[in-house]
Amino acid sequence: MKVSVIVPLYNREATIGQALRSVLEQSVPPSEVIVVDDGSVDGSANVVRAIADPRLRYLYQANAGAGAARNRGLEVAQGDWVALLDSDDWWLPTRIASAAAAVVADDRIEFLQANRLHAHADGRLAPGLSALPEQLADASWLLSGFAIKTSAVMIRRDLIERLQLRFPTDQKTCEDYHLFWRAVMFARGVGYTRDADVIIRVLPDSLSRANSAAYLQKDNIKTLIEVRQWGRQRSAAATSLRALDEHLHWQLREYLLMMLKGGDFAEVVRYARAAVREEGGARATRSLLSALKGWASPPRTGGPVS
């Protein structure tokens, strides 16, 4: 299993060293580690250059975003598999070994993700997932929510090239799911390793926390619409398209509810009209009525995976 590990880097002087050492010290070594520095202005580059290892390749580019950095890594990667690692996360030594064992057990797997732990600022390590293992290896279930984490993903290079997969560069959030959901829809097999050998660092300045909820929600909706359209054009499985339809309904419903609670009724009208054009009257009306019901009722429990 020849694994190319792609690490986008932007101003992570304090964490990039641990991330890279965790890859280079794997019990099953990677073929190469590609660091794409997306215009860092701190000492990140010095930390990378201080690690003397022939498998480590450092590339610099002007700041263009995480999607562009990962795309550059995809362009030069030589491995049979591409693994992704964010510069503030790290792996336990068994990460690649666990992945290799899963692929040996089922050679249909083309999209593989690992169990993970969340590292909090106070030093706590907490489980990062509450889902069942069979759900995490089910394409329809993965399309219904946000259970995929970048640093836990490996994708067979054949799948990337077959679908010509690249990350979008015109949005700041959800660009990872734009690629992941497309890969999941058409992978011959989706796999999951139970060993929690990926550590996701919980940072207060991560994009998912630093941006407004409304901004994130609009990116979610945009991504779901584009991925669903892409899947329809390529005759994706009906189960996958239904999962995306339902997921889009809930995301649209939550955005409209957010605007209603904030008193931005003009945005509700504007977005509902746009949804009618995109979704058709019946689908958009369902989302709007559900949002209005939620606005007028106490908060519900349960709901889609997020």
Max avg pLDDT among 135-139, 150-154, 244-248: 150-154
pLDDT of residue 209: 47
No. of H helices and E strands in the chain? 13, 9
Share of the chain above pLDDT 90, in %: 66
The pLDDT-based confidence of 295 (bands split at 50, 70, 90) is: low
Biggest CA-to-CA distance, the chain:
61
Closest CA to 253 of 228, 227, 279: 279
Give pairs for 232-241: CB < 8 Å, separation 24+: 234/186, 236/185, 236/186, 237/139, 237/185, 239/139, 239/140, 240/139, 240/140, 240/143, 240/184, 240/185
- 107-137 pLDDT tens trace: 999 999 999 999 998 888 998 887 888 899 9
Angle of helix 238-261 versus helix 281-296 axis, rounded to 10 = 40
| Residue 250 confidence (pLDDT) | 85
pLDDT classification of 302: cutoffs 50, 70, 90? very low
pLDDT greater than 70 at residue 288: no
Confidence class of residue 301 from pLDDT cuts 50, 70 and 90? Answer: very low
Q: What is the pLDDT of residue 280?
A: 60
What sign does the CA torsion over 61, 66, 67, 69 have? Answer: positive
- The chain-wide mean pLDDT, for the chain, equals 88
Give the model confidence (pLDDT) of 6-36 as tens digits.
999 999 999 999 999 999 999 999 999 999 9
Highest mean pLDDT among 146-150, 201-205, 210-214, 258-262: 146-150
Output the pLDDT for position 180: 98
The pTM for the full model equals: 0.88
Per-residue tokens: 236: 């994706």
